Structure 1
């Protein structure tokens, strides 16, 4: 990762030079470059006079990264994978099993796929709707309720003795992960606290500002108060990991 095109080219050249010392070559066909920016201009990075392909998204460690910096594509991809897993394991969710056991199976085998990497998501309103729709999809499929039955979501939740819980689960996971990051001096902490040096004169875009990752924790008193509270592990866990939810 680099801030400027020339810096990235220098990093690639250095990587190739060191790799060749150990008899390793970089595959140009499998190496891609992506610019995360509001400006769609391509980046020119070359390896042995061959230009690398510019892509709009790619997978890294199982997560889908896109050039707009949003999580919508990743969330849709995880939901699709979870639904496919549900279809393969639908024999586990037979009505002969106890209801509580079936719910545990759904959260263990299906939700774990959908929420992989959810600690780093920045959820917009549209993303929350996708996740809540997926949650209701799971309960309807588990109870074998067809969309043609015209059963309201409230009735489905009563049948399975559940409340809408998937967004709270994501916030709890995020709070646990961020709490560990804020209590340490590491690269992730520098990324969260990092700011661009200097003053950049730009015209502000229309609409509200983009949501930040820490905004999901809902602490209106700011990042400093959030960081101070994270130092007390027990208090942090009680505030964000318990049933009381985020403190606002």
Structure 2
């Protein structure tokens, strides 16, 4: 699969055998698409998580304590939906899908139908929760990026733009380093973020206030 903004076809041969061009494929459980976006993967993950919820709905009976039911949702359902979330580049539409899924979980857990005309704010009050799924993704990103920036690896070279080849200067999507800074709420720049990552204690202290425990 070729990932590019240009629609021109590409031919790759190995031992005189031409490889098939595809729009998407699964790699290590994640769905990769030729446009480089994460929307299809997020939709796929949400669908799998909803299917898992339906199979385990007997676990979420009201006979159980509310806090226990919430822990079960986050352990068994969210873990499916957020697999690989630390690597996602989220657009506004992706964030809406994820927040919609979050509210779907609480409504299903409390047996609240959309036809009951109960607002999302009321649902959150009933389950004693706030919108938290994007916060959880940010926490995972902090954990992941902290480890990446401490190592000399290919991924770090990609983030820093040190790989061979010509990189087109553009203001459009794909500026991973800038998006990474936005995700982590760091306004001092990449060098400052990299410096903090080298000191694990400083890194933990920086993000634990907003994200919770960071390893």
Give TM-score scaled by structure 1 length. Answer: 0.78
Unaligned residue ranges in structure 1 (runs of 5+): 1-33
Which residue among 68, 73, 78 is the counterpart of 2:40? Answer: 73
Unaligned residue ranges in structure 2 (runs of 5+): none
Q: 1:243 to 1:114 in 2, by over 3 A?
A: same
How far off its partner does 1:43 sit? 1.4
Q: 1:90 to 1:72 in 2, by over 3 A?
A: same
Q: 1:133 to 1:200 in 2, by over 3 A?
A: closer
2:81 maps to 1:114: yes
Deviation readout 1:135-154 (Å, 9 max, x if unpaired): 00000000000000000000
Deviation readout 1:140-189 (Å, 9 max, x if unpaired): 00000000000000000000000001001000011011101111222222
Deviation readout 1:46-80 (Å, 9 max, x if unpaired): 34544221111111000111111111111111000
Q: Whole-Å Cα distance in 1 between the matches of residues 120 and 71 of structure 2?
A: 20
Q: Whole-Å Cα distance in 2 between the matches of residues 43 and 181 of structure 1?
A: 31
Give TM-score scaled by structure 2 length. Answer: 0.89
Q: 1:58 to 1:211 in 2, by over 3 A?
A: farther
What's the secondary structure of 2:31's corresponding residue? strand
Give the aligned partner of residue 98 of structure 1. Answer: 65
How far off its partner does 1:45 sit? 1.9
Q: Whole-Å Cα distance in 2 between the matches of residues 247 and 63 of structure 1?
A: 24
Give the structure with higher Rg (CA): 1
Give the aligned partner of residue 157 of structure 2. Answer: 190
Contact 1:124/1:211 (<8 A) preserved: no
Q: Whole-Å Cα distance in 2 between the matches of residues 122 and 203 of structure 1?
A: 17
Most deviating of 103-112 and 180-189: 180-189
Give the aligned partner of residue 89 of structure 1. Answer: 56
Deviation readout 1:81-106 (Å, 9 max, x if unpaired): 00000000000000000000000000
Q: Whole-Å Cα distance in 2 between the matches of residues 207 and 150 of structure 1?
A: 40
Q: Whole-Å Cα distance in 1 between the matches of residues 188 and 116 of structure 2?
A: 46
Most deviating of 188-197 and 214-223: 188-197
Deviation readout 1:16-52 (Å, 9 max, x if unpaired): xxxxxxxxxxxxxxxxxx1100112221123454422
Q: Whole-Å Cα distance in 2 between the matches of residues 219 and 87 of structure 1?
A: 39
Q: Whole-Å Cα distance in 1 between the matches of residues 213 and 76 of structure 2?
A: 27
Alignment of 1:1-248 (within 5 A): 34-47=1-14, 49-195=16-162, 212-243=179-210
How far off its partner does 1:236 sit? 1.4
Q: 1:129 to 1:206 in 2, by over 3 A?
A: closer
